[in-house]
A and B are shown apart, each in its own frame.
Chain A
Amino acid sequence: MTDVPPLLNVRNLKVHFFTQAGVAPAVDGIDFRVNPRETLGLVGESGSGKTMASLAVLRLVPPPARIVSGSIEFQNRDLLTLDEAALRDLRGKHVAMIFQNPAYSLNPIFTIGDQLTEILRWHEPVSRTAARDRAADLLRLVGIADPLQRLRQFPHELSGGMKQRICIARALLCNPALILADEPTTNLDVTIQAQILDLLAELRDRLRMAMLLVSHDMGVVARMAHRITVVYAGRTCETGDARTIFHTPQHPYTRALLESTPRIDHDYEHATRPTLRTIGGRIPNLATPPTGCRFHPRCAEATEECAQLRPVPFEVAPGHSVSCLKRGSPGVAA
């Protein structure tokens, strides 16, 4: 796995918010890579920068945020230096995105058919009927019965699960090599979420696509990801394959996150007063983040140097790296 060049390689990405109140470093040096045909789970809570990082790949970062520095390489091309025309060619065709809320990511005033065929005809020289047929094929692929009927409908006539299937179909239209999925099932009911996740897993295996899956739900990530990168307050904490992260996490934040999540397969009934392990404190304000390691105010193992030095990713085992001074990471001043 380490010999194959990564499909997407993001290094030291920084995205900052520039507001009247000051500059907030939403993404402050995140690294992650997605190998071909592999799914990387980017896990974090709100304020971790995971959504901004995924938007940065396609340079969709909304003002007042801006990509400040770092490198984003896709198929060995530096995406940060592409001009507008090359970017437009890239988006939808080589790298596609599935957004969090299907209700908002479909244009309400156009039919499904119009929206899908427009994308196809933008990227490829096909006739309207050929585009419509391809769109119908894709709807069938994502498990929508009666696709021609659906193509004539408007988004508001469809349920949430149906809309998200259409968004997945939209992402697949031009056979992209990489899919960016930002919390694709968060707004869906549990049984629908299971259907959509199964669909995504089946499609990515069948079409041999790589996927960057952004999520805060450890269960979803466990189901879908081969490798996982955990982020907190704009920085990477830990990267490794899924089994390592879940069974032998090294970073205190990863451990605390896993231990503080209630589990459906645990027996809480025997305690008169069951207690979950908690992480004290709260997620830091991005405008005034903690010095040194961002997690140190909430970390049980933190010492004085954790407040002064910023930990740098350190490989504790092949393919498993951690950013923690207590786990062997070197620190840099900041």
Chain B
Amino acid sequence: MARPPGQFRQGWHRLCRNRSGLLGLSLVAFVVLVALIGPEFAPYTPNDQSAMLSFTAKGAPTWAHLFGTDRNGYDVLTRVIYGAPTALAVGLGAMLVASVIGILVGGIAGYLGGTADELLMRFTEFFLVIPVFIMILAVVRLFSIVVVGTPLERLPFLNLATIIVLLGLFGWPPIARLARAEFLRLKNMDFVEAARCIGAQPRDILFRHILPNALPSLVVVIALGIGGAILSESMISFLGFGDPKAISWGQLLYFNYEVLRVSPWAVLAPGGAIFITVLGFNLLADGLSDAFNPRLKQ
């Protein structure tokens, strides 16, 4: 009486057969691994500026410094490794915030319909129209000014947390739109009607019937969003609005773009890290999309 594979196991099998999805999964797994145990194996501490003292700053890769040194004498490899947990924290944190808000707003709009739907969708569209990036820059700058002199200032990584929350607060509309479409589609399905007919209450229907069936599509959009959030944070840090105490790839770019010609490794390494991370999440999203909604292939 062996239990045959369920939906998620079948999806997993399909994902494994999809080459680009598998590649995405491997890249993401690699980045996660680096983020978790990388700092243990980093050759230097991130704040080690000894290269400055020995005049080997801005140096090309050597055996001592596999990715070279940057403008401030930091070892690039170490900094890139320490940038990984930051990137993942940003990606996952932002999408967590965005998902909760997006699924709530979209789900309620889709399920209730009528005036609630109209109001919530206008609200969503308002958020879509806002120039997100500029807003985030402005709020981050404002926040850091406001916080100066208050006890909040001493909280570690406050700036980074602010960025994460803001990315989430402005990143939920696409999730809301998809959630609304899914809830709308699912609420009229026969098995939901059957649940009502049995006597299930609305909260049962929402959480036990509709949400699990909406998750596959939502997971795809969320995976894409993680890559997008990481990219956004890199841009924010590159422009100098990032958290100075948090090591991030964008920050590395910010420190070293002026010396691009002299020490290109200092820019290429973090740039490459951003690239493979975002690519990994995008490919994974693609693979998941195919895995959960298989199309007939030639």
Contacts and interface: CB of A to CB of B under 8 A. Distances in A.
A20 B17 CA distance: 10
Interface in A7-48: 19-20
A19 B296 CA distance: 8
Interface residues of A, number: 4
Contacts of B297: 19-20, 64
A20 B291 CA distance: 14
A44 to B, nearest CB: 22
A280 interface: no
A64 B297 CA distance: 7
B21 to A, nearest CB: 14
B201 interface: no
A63 interface: yes
B298 interface: yes
Interface string A49-78: 000000000000001100000000000000
Interface string B277-298: 0000000000000000000111
Nearest to B17: A20
A20 B14 CA distance: 10
A20 B19 CA distance: 14
B10 to A, nearest CB: 12
A20 B13 CA distance: 12
Nearest to B14: A20
A317 to B, nearest CB: 43
A64 B298 CA distance: 5
Contacts of B296: 19, 64
A19 B298 CA distance: 7
Nearest to A65: B296
B61 to A, nearest CB: 44
Interface in B8-29: 17
Contacts of B298: 63-64
Interface string A170-211: 000000000000000000000000000000000000000000
A334 B297 CA distance: 29
A63 B297 CA distance: 9
Contacts of A19: 296-297
A78 to B, nearest CB: 26
B31 to A, nearest CB: 29
A19 B297 CA distance: 7
Contacts of A63: 298
A58 B17 CA distance: 34
A17 to B, nearest CB: 9
Interface string A270-303: 0000000000000000000000000000000000
Interface of B: 17, 296-298
**6 pairs of A and B residues whose beta carbons are closest in the complex:** A63-B298, A64-B298, A64-B296, A20-B297, A20-B17, A64-B297
Interface of A: 19-20, 63-64
Given A19-B297, A64-B297, A64-B298, 5 more contacts: A19-B296, A20-B17, A20-B297, A63-B298, A64-B296
8 contacts: A19-B296, A19-B297, A20-B17, A20-B297, A63-B298, A64-B296, A64-B297, A64-B298
